[in-house]
Structure 1
Amino acid sequence: MVTMERDTETVHEAYAFVCLHCGHGWEEEYEIRHITDLAGRHRAEYFTHGRRVPSPLTRADCPACDRGPIRILRPGRVNTTRTYLP
């Protein structure tokens, strides 16, 4: 089934992440496309480096240790938070 889009709004957001297990921190910028289809349903699609990716708000694993939990911070906070982790 093909769903036609009625409206798309694109915003750019950055997030900082830190793993509370291993202390690994990273930041990522996302292009977020807020889409409303012809039936009025809303969805958001996340892109980084030109690839569609899952929402960073649902990411459960650290890319360094494949564990977690992950804390999401405002951009630019990774280095500040590292001083409090082992």
Structure 2
Amino acid sequence: MPDGFDTRETWPYECLRCLYVWEEDFVVRHLSDARGNKVDIWLSSGIPVQPPWSGACCPGCGAYRVTWFPSGYLTRHPELVAAPDPEPEPVFAPMPVPGRAPAVARTHLPGRLLVGLGVPLALFVAYELYANVVAVAHPHH
């Protein structure tokens, strides 16, 4: 049976692309087995995640060029944290339809992810089209 304890940590981040500053809260579950092997499991909202220093993504612009500060740094330097942007007023609010579930807000994928998936897909489709045109123009006998 693993033996362990939990600690709470707050990690402040800054995006090096858009300069957005934010904090994320984590629970670190420190476990050790009967042989003394130790492992840390990082949780965010109860879900296992990568450690905060690996692969953080900016919630403002989606960039992965992110740095972090020592724990408690933003508490000592509140001038670095920008005031949250006010929510825009809706121009048109659709009327709810009885018996239908409310629409779910879509999340925006980071631009680099779309490029990373879209470019290879476009190249593959272009190659297949080219191969089919050449096969029709020059059939093998």
Provide the TM-score with structure 1 as the length reference. 0.72
Please provide the CA RMSD for this pair.
Answer: 2.3
Relative to its length, the structure with more helix (as a share) is: 2
Matches within 5 A, 1:1-80: 4-5=1-2, 7-73=3-69, 74-75=71-72, 77=74, 80=79
**Deviations, residues 28-63 of structure 1 (Å, cap 9, x unaligned):** 111101111223211111112121111102134323
Runs of 4+ in 1 over 2 A off after TM superposition: 59-69, 78-83
**Deviations, residues 2-35 of structure 1 (Å, cap 9, x unaligned):** xx41x11111111111111111221111110111
What percent of counterpart residues are identical? 25
Query: Based on CA coordinates, which of the two structures has the bigger radius of gyration?
Result: 2
What SS class does the counterpart of residue 79 from structure 2 fall into? helix
Judge conservation of contact 2:55–2:64 (CA < 8 Å) in 1.
Answer: no
Relative to its length, the structure with more strand (as a share) is: 1
Provide the TM-score with structure 2 as the length reference. 0.47
Unaligned residue ranges in structure 2 (runs of 5+): 83-141
Unaligned residue ranges in structure 1 (runs of 5+): none
Higher RCO (C-alpha 8 Å, min separation 6): 1
